[in-house]
Structure 1
Amino acid sequence: MRALIQRVAQASVSVDNATIGQIGPGLLILVCAMPEDTEKTAEALATKISKLRLFKDDAGKMNLSLLQTGGAALVVSQFTLAADTSRGNRPGFSGAAKPDIAKALYLHFADALRALDIPVETGQFGADMSVALTNDGPVTLWLDTQNP
């Protein structure tokens, strides 16, 4: 799986001008399932993200995890993280998992975060979404379970 993680002061996702998910302080997680991914991959990624020390402690150092701060996660499916830009100027997305598999893994990833007692809001798989956020830092990380 691939994930782009942004530390946020707040974030929301809307479909057809209606907000379907929103969080305060925490992480916006854009996630893409790849063909080789399994439920175990989704669980491992959720565990890794929950423990990443991306939040400031009392000394101002990035030393606290999402679990430690009680922050929330906004999880949004993002198949374009599988973009192949090696040929020409039009990205190809055939490297992403097929939609039925991708949706199941996306939902399993969100559930894996919930199982770790992280409050989770989600986007709508396959929808044209508008994502709004206020970056905190900014702090942005790229994770790829195929190339850790």
Structure 2
Amino acid sequence: IILLHQVKFLYPKYQRELEEILLDEARQYVIKQCSSCLNNWTKIAPYRLSNDENVTSISDAGVRVLSIAYSTDPDDVSYGVILSSEGQVMDFIRLPNLMLRENYSADNRIKKEKDFEAIRKCIKERVPDVICIGKINVNYKCRISFSIRI
């Protein structure tokens, strides 16, 4: 009778409890790992210049940031702006053809190259310490960052 009671009632109950406990622990572990990963992706820290680069720019204007914001819609105009360490706009550039498809026509390729040349010129003139690209997806970010490499 005791063996029958164990097999029929206790073991299935223990099995269900064990499955619930293991499933709950697995969920908690996945949530903890995901939150840790998201935390690492979104960590924010102040930018610090190294002492050997752009020593004159530290005393002149502090940290300068070039920020490029764009939309995936080709009809929207993209902009680049250079900000001082106080958040003041030092300079801006309008990039109307940044998101044109370059393989569509030779005219689009020329217009797009002019926008990238304007970005390169702005980088050479203002020498930003940080370049920030506001991206909607990784593909566009890679295209823009590859195109503005000097």
TM-score of the two chains, using structure 2 as the length reference:
0.26
**Structure holding more helix per residue:** 2
TM-score of the two chains, using structure 1 as the length reference:
0.27
Structure 1 or 2, whichever has the larger Rg, is 2
Higher relative contact order (CA 8 A, sep 6+): 1
**Structure holding more strand per residue:** 1
